Structure 1
Amino acid sequence: MESGDDDEVLPRIPPPALPPAPRPALSAQAAALFAGGVAAGLVAGAATCTATQGGLLIGLVDGRRGRDRAAVGWFLAGRLASHTTAGALLGLLGSAVSLPPQARAALLVAAGLMIVVFAVRLMRREPACAPVPPRAYRAPLLGAATILVPCGVTLGVELLAVSSGSPLAGAAAMAGFVLGTAPAFALLGYVLRRVSRTRLARLAGVVAVAAGLWTAGTGLSLGGWLATPAPAAAGTPQQKVTVWATRDGYRPGMVSAPAGVPVEVVFKVADPGCTGTVTIAGRDVALPATVRLPPQPPGTLRYVCGMGMYAGFITFS
């Protein structure tokens, strides 16, 4: 049958375009950073973070509250939540949301004093007299507060989250790091809960007081508020100097550079540890890195590791 003149030929409509398949790059990056965070927590972060932040666990073991087995779990949950949130913000907004060294130093001093108060309460077994959160919220809030007292390895992971440029990848890196350090914190919490019920509580309190004073001292050092005598300068001033970050500090601890001209400081890493992040000229730098300093006046420039434990000096002349 022939088609009439009135027959309408419909145009061929192409099928709707399918949305592009999601790229696996982001998820792969997040997975890689998560695995790297777990490794950093297990290998390098367990000792340094428990030493720096573990004193806050003392706030959970005074008297009756030390018998709550769930307290350490809530502490770790608060720690995971705060670090994951911080990682997402760092990945989203970059270094704009990271604390400057001076603010971090003040928080270290405050945390150290808080640890001392907790330790004294543990030794005296008296009711809480410090401004602490209510019982129901104390454990997760103390765990969340550990983000304000970062150890050197934490700072390195935070800088990694900043460089990722992705909230998912940044959160994955920080979450992996917290999970890597969780076994050490759980063990420390278990030991503290056991000790708080015995005569060793006073000894544990003394150790905690020392840890609190050490934490406050690192804050004073990081902020430059603790006078540190600079060693005598040695060698001929050079516009490019090399400094090695070791487990025991920076080598050489004192270098000479000419004043009035730009200077390059090449930081290399000999051993992973606290010195892997350096605070110099008011900013945090993850090592290895080359720091280019503008012309400096005659005098001494002090730099310090991210925890305020180890310092080095550059003498400009």
Structure 2
Amino acid sequence: MIKSTLETIEGVLSVDASTSSGEVIITHKKGLYPDLKRLNKALAEYGYTLGYKDDDSERSLIYFENGGIFYNPAKMKQFLGTSLVVLVLVAAFYLISGSGIASRVMVSSDTGPLVYLLFGLVAGASTCAALVGGVLLSLSKSWNKIYASQGSRLSAAVPHVMFYTGRLIAFALAGGVLALVGASITETITKATPVITVVVSSVMFVLGLQMLNVSWAKKIRIALPSGVGFRVSESSTDNKGKFGPLSIGAASLLLPCGMTLTAFIASITSGSFVVGAINMFSFAFGTMLSLSFISIVSIGFSNHKIWSNRFNTVAGIMVLFFAIFTLNAQLNAAGLPSLTDVSSFINPGSSTQAVEDGSKNVQVIKMVANRSGYSPTSFTVRSGVPVRWEVNNTGASGCTNVLIARDFFSGNFPLNPGVNVKEFTPQKPGTYKFSCWMGMVSGVIKVT
């Protein structure tokens, strides 16, 4: 009855109906997709109603069929939900990073452990989240496969506890040792930072793609030295190094962010092993309190397949975001083209012309550095004429308290509270970048 009725409808080639399974399979002519309302109208007198079976698991988010474009409702719902969560997290990251909260708890050689702890708390939720948080996110999926399989949340928490333990011990030891070595080590640290950052960000990018199940990325095996006994990449199946998370936590000391290095440099000036160790332990403990949000969410979802998959998707996207964000910052720091240039092109803003000081035959540019960044961020000067760059530091913190402009002068331009002066002479016309020393805040100097 159902078969014979539906086969009379235009476009229907054949019908296979089964009342026992409650399914009707309709084969139709190409380009003549049967209208569901018309089908149900034909069956109304028999008391039957048809509906589409929700079996789109093999279909992609957007697909083409019978000359039309369609979307998978289930995957679209998941996509929109994931996108909303990612947008909220990215917005929160930029909001906290640009809020200037760090300037209110700025560390120095005279501050105590409590201030270092508060400084770390802010760092873990902002600049340090880009590298340390990104690595922690990428490792969480691998850890969950190994430890959460034992069926208890306590076992799932083991690698995270080991990670933070290793991190706390490493920071305490490094803080004490560097305080004894003194400020002579500072230049070495700042020179090594860009290389470490680029390497770690590149690894994060691959790990993010692996978390999103990109086939070619999953073939890449990323491993720590054999002595650590722990492979990082998801494609590895032998992630059973007993002290792997502990070693990685200790190695996270090498993941640089502006606020971490600010804390180290301030702690170095203490000259005391005990003071340096306590201060950096407090800073690491503060970052742990912020970063533990990632661990708690990861552990909470570890034994729930659906939510675990969704968490891994969000985590993979965030790892990619943090990797791109950090690599982009390093391009700024190196004075190379970056994604920041796109936003500057779309919204160029106004360029501040240098003021000529006739008595000294010098051109002066003035800028303010505060908790929000730099203002203005674009200047125009003439080539061949000395420039006096006056920067009034009214609350710069973290990355923004040190300037670099590799095309005009070597080394760093540290910004102490008040007016700071840097002199240089631009030689060639062009547009050149300056940035904070981690590249997260940048601007341009146009030479005519």
TM-score in terms of structure 1 length = 0.75
- Where does residue 113 of structure 1 map in the other structure? 202
CA distance 1:32–1:294, shift in 2 (3 Å) = closer
Q: 1:199 aligns with which of 301, 309, 312?
A: 309
Q: What amino acid is the match of 2:112? A: L
Q: What amino acid is the match of 1:305? A: C
* 1:151-194 deviation digits (Å, cap 9, x = unpaired): 22212212212332333332232221111121111121222344
Q: 2:176 aligns with which of 88, 107, 115?
A: 88
User: Number of aligned pairs?
Assistant: 289
Q: Secondary structure at 2:391's aligned position in 1?
A: strand
- Where does residue 293 of structure 1 map in the other structure? 422
CA distance 1:107–1:136, shift in 2 (3 Å) = same
| Post-superposition offset of 1:282 | 1.9
| Post-superposition offset of 1:266 | 2.8
Q: What amino acid is the match of 2:141? A: V
In structure 2, C-alpha distance between the alignment counterparts of 1:212 and 1:72, rounded to whole Å:
21
| CA contact 1:158–1:174 (8 Å) conserved in 2 | yes
1:303 pairs with 2:434: yes
| Post-superposition offset of 1:212 | 1.7
CA distance 1:140–1:241, shift in 2 (3 Å) = farther
CA distance 1:92–1:314, shift in 2 (3 Å) = farther
Q: 2:125 aligns with which of 38, 41, 46?
A: 46
CA distance 1:189–1:270, shift in 2 (3 Å) = same
Q: Secondary structure at 1:212's aligned position in 2?
A: helix
In structure 2, C-alpha distance between the alignment counterparts of 1:66 and 1:120, rounded to whole Å:
22
Q: What amino acid is the match of 1:40? A: F
- Where does residue 208 of structure 1 map in the other structure? 319
* 1:266-316 deviation digits (Å, cap 9, x = unpaired): 341346554234345422635436544354233566432243111134557
CA distance 1:165–1:137, shift in 2 (3 Å) = same
* 1:90-120 deviation digits (Å, cap 9, x = unpaired): 3222333234545311211111111123223
In structure 1, C-alpha distance between the alignment counterparts of 2:402 and 2:371, rounded to whole Å:
12
- Where does residue 146 of structure 1 map in the other structure? 252
Q: 1:78 aligns with which of 143, 147, 166?
A: 166
Q: Tell which structure's C-alpha radius of gyration is larger.
A: 2
Q: 1:253 aligns with which of 377, 381, 403?
A: 377
| CA contact 1:101–1:223 (8 Å) conserved in 2 | no
Q: 1:35 aligns with which of 111, 114, 122?
A: 114
In structure 2, C-alpha distance between the alignment counterparts of 1:236 and 1:262, rounded to whole Å:
10
Q: Secondary structure at 1:303's aligned position in 2?
A: strand
Q: 2:139 aligns with which of 56, 59, 82?
A: 59
- Where does residue 90 of structure 2 map in the other structure? none
Q: Secondary structure at 1:124's aligned position in 2?
A: coil
Which has the higher mean CA deviation after the structures are superposed, 180-189 or 228-237?
Answer: 228-237
Q: Secondary structure at 2:353's aligned position in 1?
A: coil
Q: What amino acid is the match of 2:355? A: T
Aligned CA-pair RMSD: 3.4
Identity %: 25
Q: Which runs of 5+ in 1 are unaligned?
A: 1-28
CA distance 1:210–1:168, shift in 2 (3 Å) = same
Deviating beyond 6 angstroms after TM superposition, the runs of 4 or more aligned structure 1 residues are: 125-128
CA distance 1:128–1:74, shift in 2 (3 Å) = farther
* 1:201-245 deviation digits (Å, cap 9, x = unpaired): 223212222222222222232233445758745242466654222
Q: Secondary structure at 1:312's aligned position in 2?
A: strand
| CA contact 1:60–1:66 (8 Å) conserved in 2 | no
- Where does residue 171 of structure 1 map in the other structure? 277
| Post-superposition offset of 1:72 | 1.2
